[in-house]
Chains A and B, each alone.
Chain A
């Protein structure tokens, strides 16, 4: 086992039991994460990225289950952990920043109370110590100490999101999972929060899994990039590599979906069609019906993984084992 490795997910299958069957929102997903690394997971709505995040935290809603696979966190297989065991490591070793801070913060408690509650739940400390720690993390996210006794509704959207990040940081976890933390915010606020996260990461060396649909943002801020489509990670690699030399037609389409601010204006394409129904995913490659380079085999078999380099792989029939393009 690699010392640097903090998280190793292999063949994870998770989804929702509904009347009509099982919705495989996460299907045989495998990836690894090193200490201090910033992994971006990009995907459209309904591709299973949030289910993956909640699955890693084992915080899935009642009709959602992890079917199989393993989650190895800090050398421990937490897939088999009971709820009590999870409570030991949740927030202490891994924490989560939710999409909407407005819903995740309790409106009748001050932010100070909510922050110190998190400490008391896991550590046996005095009131004074807890308060000091809470003030410390608030300072880290640029919220002044006089906001300690403020209620959530007295803060702006960006401040609330920063409080959420402070809550994620308060017990100094090794891994923070962020589920669309900036989606509801304006660009300027989003930028300040991203800068804050990067600063703190440099300072404390925690790892981040950052989930969003905004690929242009992810490319810029992450070390590693995973592209999810219909429950599968279809391409994974160093962010720059994936951006400059994307392999999968879906990734290429996504990269062609946001106009550049500074570069020359050229006609962009986007991707036609819509993602498949996860209740009855298509046989073979999930993307084949929307793909303009699809081969016959794409509709029959799910492609094997092709590794272009150690840190860049793709699930696509266009690339065979020898690295030649079939298309």
Chain B
């Protein structure tokens, strides 16, 4: 299992509700989520809002502590409380790109002072001159050329796409082994999304790093990733190679996502959605399979027990009784 960079096992994350009315109850943001990720692999986590995909990224990034379950990074089990040295070492290896390029850069800092931080925290480069050199290289790496034109600017002087490039540069700065990308292109204009995605893929090809790419766009997930995991209401519904999940879709929810995704080729002749309704409340999730109230193939036993996740064919798992 050495070539697994990350393995998470039966992770639960429940947030306590603070209000008086909901006291003692929990938001079930993640329930029994397990998957593994090989070195150099890209895993896309696909789901609607409230499916727990962002929580998953935050748990792996160490921003939230899981309620239960284990995280193995490079074969080593991560302790609940890390000392500063181990924490820094982990944070150097695992970096996160946030969704909103407008709020993820501090408006009062210049690009230089934003990008120098990772070097300083991890003691990689010292001296203003060296830092400037490294940051210039970094900016050119993410396509902000000439670097001199951007290095002393404030975030508000850049466009959304340029800011997201700065964000990505920040994660590249420490040469991480795993990058968690939380919908990095969803707030950008269509025309620049592809270049950001391509840049991330190129970097992966060169450095052999892994990504966890979180998105709600199934087509984008297929473009970016080797493996796709589909989450619904805090649970993993289907996971497998990108082609298997898209082309031999198993779980009814994945089928729903697939039929809802815009697809210009199909035009108006497409089949209609068979499913209605909304994502269930995570405070009081449905019994049994979380998807059963909306499922077109609903059987009585679906509401009794949570179905086990099982292997349909090699490397393709689904949580469904079908």
Q: Which residues of A contact B (CB under 8 A)?
A: 44-45, 142, 156, 158-159, 186-192, 195, 198, 213-217, 219-221, 240, 243, 250, 253-254, 256-263, 265, 267-272, 274
Contact = CB atoms under 8 A, between A and B. Distances in A.
A259 B278 contact: no
Q: Report whether over half of chain B's contact residues are helix, strand or loop; otherwise say mixed.
A: helix
B141 interface: no
Contacts of B258: 261
A157 to B, nearest CB: 9
B190 A213 contact: yes
Contacts of B160: 45
B265 A260 contact: yes
B300 interface: no
Contacts, number: 116
Interface of B: 48-49, 159-162, 189-195, 197-198, 216-220, 222-223, 246, 256-268, 270, 272-273, 275-276, 278-279
A207 to B, nearest CB: 16
Contacts of B222: 259, 261, 265
Contacts of B192: 270-272, 274
Contacts of A260: 219, 263, 265
Contacts of B256: 188
A187 B257 contact: yes
A256 B260 contact: no
Nearest to A267: B198
Contacts of A189: 48, 278
B151 to A, nearest CB: 18
Given A192-B273, A220-B267, A187 B260 contact: yes
A193 to B, nearest CB: 11
A186 B265 contact: no
Contacts of B275: 188
Contacts of B159: 274
Contacts of B194: 256-259, 268-270
Given A195-B273, A261-B261, A188 B190 contact: no
29 contacts: A44-B189, A158-B278, A186-B48, A187-B217, A187-B218, A188-B48, A188-B256, A191-B260, A195-B272, A213-B189, A215-B190, A217-B262, A219-B264, A253-B191, A254-B191, A257-B191, A257-B194, A260-B219, A260-B263, A261-B246, A261-B261, A262-B246, A262-B263, A268-B198, A269-B195, A270-B193, A271-B191, A272-B192, A274-B192
A258 B160 CA distance: 18
A258 B48 CA distance: 19
Nearest to A255: B264
A268 B165 CA distance: 18
B48 A187 contact: yes
B228 to A, nearest CB: 12
Contacts of A267: 198
B246 A220 contact: no
B195 A270 contact: yes
A266 to B, nearest CB: 9
